[in-house]
Amino acid sequence: MPKPLRIAVLASGRGSNLAALLAARDHHALAIEPVLVASDKAHAGALQLAEAAGIPSLHLNPRRYDNRRDFDIDLFTRIGDSGAQLIVLAGFMRILDGDALRPWVGRMINIHPSLLPKYRGLHTHRRALEAGDAEHGASVHYVTAELDGGPVIAQARIAVLPDDNEHTLAQRLLIQEHRLLPAVVSALAEQRLALAGADTVMWDGTPLQAPLRLEDGLLERGARDE
């Protein structure tokens, strides 16, 4: 096992992806030390989870700041103070200021419920259904100033079923998210991943030509890499 990677998790909602990270850690499948869970929502389930797990938690109220940048600068300062080596956005529903996040590029990842570059932003399940997609999925990517636009590290795919609605699709995808995020964080903890330059994801020392794919819980090189 590598030395635990100190992570800060940012979440606005229920925190099921945070729970998946903690479960993987508890099963000795993920070498992480969560040093902070922060949220813009006072009642986020993620904060309650953190408190129950004895992880330092922090609520920052955006209304107390004059503008987005001031909020983000305070947030990143506190994350820096926590000693985090990696920031994981797990359902953090705020746009981050490009200048404030810049020092963390390469050390901050986000999970997004679509096969990026498809469907950046909101309502991804609805948009996949409306487009008649045969496949849907989730992506973990490095965070850059471009919303949901940073280099994609890995994706999990599911088939869209004929009678799927937004709810069933989201539910089935969430199960995959709970595998994908710990798998990527584990690869980061093992130093198998890095961002080179602005947009090249390195996997075991060589550039990825396509996002890694989650297959049976393991990350594998995508088709264009074989």
Query: What is the residue-wise DSSP string for 148-185?
Result: T-SPEEEEEEEEPPTT--HHHHHHHHHHHHHHHHHHHH
The residue range among 12-20, 51-59, 65-73, 155-163 that interacts with ligand GAR, by the rule CB under 6 A, is 12-20
Contact call for residue 137 and ligand GAR (CB under 6 A): no
From 112, 125, 136, 141, active-site residue: 112
What is the chain's Cα-based Rg? 17
For the bound state, the minimum distance from the C-beta of residue 112 to ligand GAR, rounded and expressed in Å, comes to 5
Residue with smaller CB distance to ligand GAR, 11 or 37: 11
Which member of 6, 14, 78, 94 binds ligand GAR (CB under 6 A)? 14
Residue with smaller CB distance to ligand GAR, 109 or 188: 109
Hey, which residues between 90 and 119 contact ligand GAR (CB under 6 A)? 90-91, 111-113
The residue range among 15-23, 56-64, 68-76, 98-106 that interacts with ligand GAR, by the rule CB under 6 A, is 15-23
CA 23 – CA 63 distance, rounded (Å):
33
CB 204 within 8 A of CB 219: no
CA 157 – CA 172 distance, rounded (Å):
10
Residue 52 one-letter amino acid? A
| Per-residue binder mask for ligand GAR (CB under 6 A), 164-193, x = binder | ----------x--x----------------
CA 22 – CA 62 distance, rounded (Å):
27
199: left (phi over 0), alpha (psi -120 to 50) or beta: alpha
The residue to which tokens 């529903």 are assigned: 93
Residue with smaller CB distance to ligand GAR, 1 or 42: 42
Residue with smaller CB distance to ligand GAR, 112 or 213: 112
Which member of 8, 9, 15, 143 binds ligand GAR (CB under 6 A)? 15
Distance (Å) of CA 117 to CA 14, 34, 66, 154: 25, 29, 32, 12
Taking Cα atoms as reference points, which of 6, 91, 86, 4 lies closest to residue 45? Answer: 91
For the bound state, the minimum distance from the C-beta of residue 59 to ligand GAR, rounded and expressed in Å, comes to 15
CA 12 – CA 50 distance, rounded (Å):
13
The residue range among 7-15, 48-56, 152-160, 193-201 that interacts with ligand GAR, by the rule CB under 6 A, is 7-15
Contact call for residue 156 and ligand GAR (CB under 6 A): no
112 catalytic? Reply is yes
- The residues that are catalytic are 112
* Residues found near ligand GAR in the complex (CB under 6 A): 11, 13-17, 90-91, 111-113, 138, 174, 177
